[in-house]
A = this chain, B = another copy of it.
Amino acid sequence: MGIEKKSHHKLIKKLINTQRTEALRGLLKDLDVVEIMNSFLQLKLKYQLDLLEALPKEIASDVLAQLHNYSPVFTEVVEQMNAETLGGLIEEMDGDDAADVVAVLDEEKADEILGSLPLKEREEITNLMKYDSESAGGIMDPDVVAVQKEHTVAKAIQEIRKYTVKEDIEKFYIVYVIDEFQHLIGFVDIHKLLLTEATAFIKDLMDPNVVAVDVEMDQEHVANIVREYDLVVVPVIDKYLKLIGRITIDDVMDVLNEEFYEDLGHIAGTGDEEVLETSVFRTSKDRIPWLILGLVGGFGAALAMESFAVYLEKLPEVMYFIPLIAALGGNIAIQSSSIIVRGLGTGEIQATDLFVRLWKELRVSFLNGPVCAIILFGMVLLLTDNLTMGIVAGCALIAVVVLATVVGSAVPMLLKRVNIDPALATGPFITTANDLLGVIVYLSITLTFTDIPV
């Protein structure tokens, strides 16, 4: 049943290493694409190329198509493959996958490979490359099964049979209905064709309430539509409402994954870095901006402390709680902002709900702020025996919490309104800003209201 992953990786590696190509081929024949991918991803580049050579074309092209989700590895492998092998695999691939491969090649190699393809495939690929890679057009498959509304079921089946053989279509679950101008006017679930009389007319079977996406629509928007409507495939139309492709659920899942990890990368300060990134330099480059941001915020805090130096020298205990205040401000802000960024992404929160949301977040802080303040009060008392300072520090903490809530809630919503990715406002940006604000507010309040010994 292939449920449990059993790793054939060691054997595969050994067979490649010792160049026992025949034995390798024999082993690979019994594995499925997922098993091969699992091993492939653990190999060094040189061995990855050997493995692709050893695989039958139809499997190798599947592996390459899947590899697109692991972009640093994908780019390396594609760049290193020789043009002839690569051309052979591209010919086997679906149009959308083939276009993804050609897109990462340098111009010269791309031209060489495109030139070697049959005219029809070449046109299909160059046609797809027109679209933004993050739009519906960039992820659609131009091969889509459609029938005329005037046909009977029997005639439609005949047409489908011809078309699927010609275009080598392996899977489809929904048949779209078009008029004589290729306009999309409905759909028929394939099981309906199977279970209905052969003499029935398509136009009587079809559901006219078809949800389609425009070829220029952003892929995240497409994914949300597919998820909301529980679709397994969504048709793509051009500006004349003509059917030009389809996007299947597996590609939609890849998009959702990609968008999710993009958000996570912003929150964690790793940028677009991928788990399988092999280059230490690229990883370092993805991460260092976020660290420098933290350093700049920290320098701000140092400047703030220096400007209060005269008072701090007399009451150094105030400084002991600065890390606590900074951390709390950051934590509060990231709680509010992450919930809001999440809601904006799924559409559960609209950018116009600013005040409703802010009020809800503030009410939460009116509960949590005092709880934290009382705890801090106890800690200050325990450590310094200074009652006034305890009370003042607790009040300062409430101010920090309220401020952090306002910043954490408002900034992502305001960014969304001006069309900047709100996820950028969570993670390092928001924590750094609130570390710094927190330190300034805390020092100002505590040093103003606590009796400083002269």
Contacts and interface: CB of A to CB of B under 8 A. Distances in A.
Contacts of A449: none
A378 B335 CA distance: 33
A164 interface: yes
Interface string A210-230: 111110010000000101111
Given A173-B190, A306-B320, A212 B1 contact: yes
Interface stretch (A51-59, A109-117, A337-345, A412-420): A337-345
A320 B292 contact: no
Contacts of A403: none
A372 B323 contact: no
Contact of A342 (B217, B275, B325): B275
A229 B32 CA distance: 9
Contacts of A435: 323, 327
Given A335-B290, A435-B327, A229 B34 contact: yes
Interface string A342-362: 110011110000000000100
Max chain B CB contacts within 10 Å: which of A261, A287, A292? Answer: A287
A258 to B, nearest CB: 12
A280 B372 contact: no
B249 A364 contact: no
A446 interface: no
Contacts of A261: 342
Interface stretch (A12-20, A119-127, A424-432): A424-432
Interface in A88-146: none
A113 to B, nearest CB: 25
Majority SS of interface residues in chain A?
helix
B190 A295 contact: no
Copies of this protein, total:
2
A297 interface: yes
Given A268-B335, A342-B275, A312 B316 contact: yes
Contacts of A34: 228-229
A49 interface: no
A265 B331 CA distance: 12
Interface of A: 1-3, 5, 32-34, 37-38, 41, 157, 160-161, 164, 171-173, 189-191, 193-195, 209-214, 217, 225, 227-230, 232, 237, 241, 249-250, 253, 256-257, 260-261, 263-265, 267-270, 273, 275-276, 280-281, 283-284, 287-288, 290-292, 294-295, 297-299, 301-303, 305-306, 309, 312-313, 316-317, 319-328, 330-332, 334-335, 337-339, 342-343, 346-349, 360, 363-364, 367-368, 371-372, 375-376, 379, 383, 426, 428, 431-432, 435, 439
Q: Considering the complex of A and B, which 8 residue pairs feature the smallest CB-CB distances, nearest first?
A: A298-B324, A268-B338, A302-B320, A275-B343, A301-B323, A230-B250, A284-B367, A173-B173
13 contacts: A227-B257, A253-B253, A256-B257, A263-B264, A275-B343, A280-B367, A281-B367, A298-B321, A298-B323, A302-B324, A305-B320, A312-B316, A327-B435
